Amino acid sequence: MSGRIVSIAQPHVRAIARGKARAMYEFGAKVSLSVVEGFCRVDRLSWDPYNESTDLQTQIEQYKTRTGHYPESVHADKIYRTRENLKFCKEKRIRLTGPKLGRPYKETEENKKLLRQLRKQERMDEGIRSEVEGKFGVAKRRHTLSLIKAKLRATSETSIMLVFFVMNLERILKEKLRLLFVYLFDLLVNIANFMKSQLCSRVRCA
């Protein structure tokens, strides 16, 4: 039954069918997450089950609004490869990664090299796409995303958003520290080269 209450303490929570071996249903918020250059963006947070493939076009348009251009490629799960999304990406000249719809290509002597290149590209795309799954794993293991105990809907949503906010702050901090170390290393190298040149000039003068 739509909208049925499964928790008196949290009436906003709905059962989400997952079909996994260890759990047919999951309870909690469903999050649509996109990752751009290592930074997480929560595009949708809902307590009701929904088909996340319907979010793709909106996510791409939001990306264009933020950056001024469409992405060159979108690395998404196969559930996003609907005919509507494929058509949209083709019109916008965006490469939506993943296997094609319908039957796979039959390998022949003529297309063997092409299929090898396609499989190599698919492996690379899958490695990039797995970054999203990795972000969820980090959020659950290191940032207590799977241990949120808040009861109120607004408090729970705030806690979820804060997890990804902190992850983005960590990303910025790591980048700043990396730049600091690079600057200090270059400074030490320049100082060492300067001292070496001074020592060499003194030796020649002597």
pLDDT for residue 3 is more than 70: no
CA atoms within 13 A on the CB side of 31: 23
Residue 28 belongs to some domain of the structure: no
Q: Which long-range contacts (CB under 8 A, 24 or more apart) does 48-54 make?
A: 48/14, 49/14, 49/15, 49/16, 49/17, 51/79, 52/79, 52/80, 53/79, 53/80, 53/82, 53/85
pLDDT for residue 66 is more than 80: yes
Give me the percent of the chain exceeding a pLDDT of 70. Answer: 83
Written as six digits, the tokens of 44 are: 């949708």
- Cβ atoms 63, 43 nearer than 8 A: no
Residues 103-123: tens digit of each pLDDT: 666 767 667 777 777 777 777
Number of domains in the chain: 1
pLDDT of residue 149: 82
Q: pLDDT-derived band of residue 163, with 50, 70 and 90 as boundaries?
A: very high
Residue 73 belongs to some domain of the structure: yes
- Which range of residues forms the domain containing residue 93? 54-141
Residue 95 belongs to some domain of the structure: yes
pLDDT of residue 105: 66
pLDDT of residue 168: 93
Instruction: Measure CA 124 to chain center.
Output: 15
Residue 155 belongs to some domain of the structure: no
Residue 26 — φ and ψ, nearest 5°? -125, 155
Q: What is the DSSP string of 4-60?
A: --S-SS-TT--EEE---SS-SEEES-EEEEEEETTEEEEEEEESS---GGGGHHHHH
Radius of gyration of the chain (CA): 25
Residue 154 belongs to some domain of the structure: no
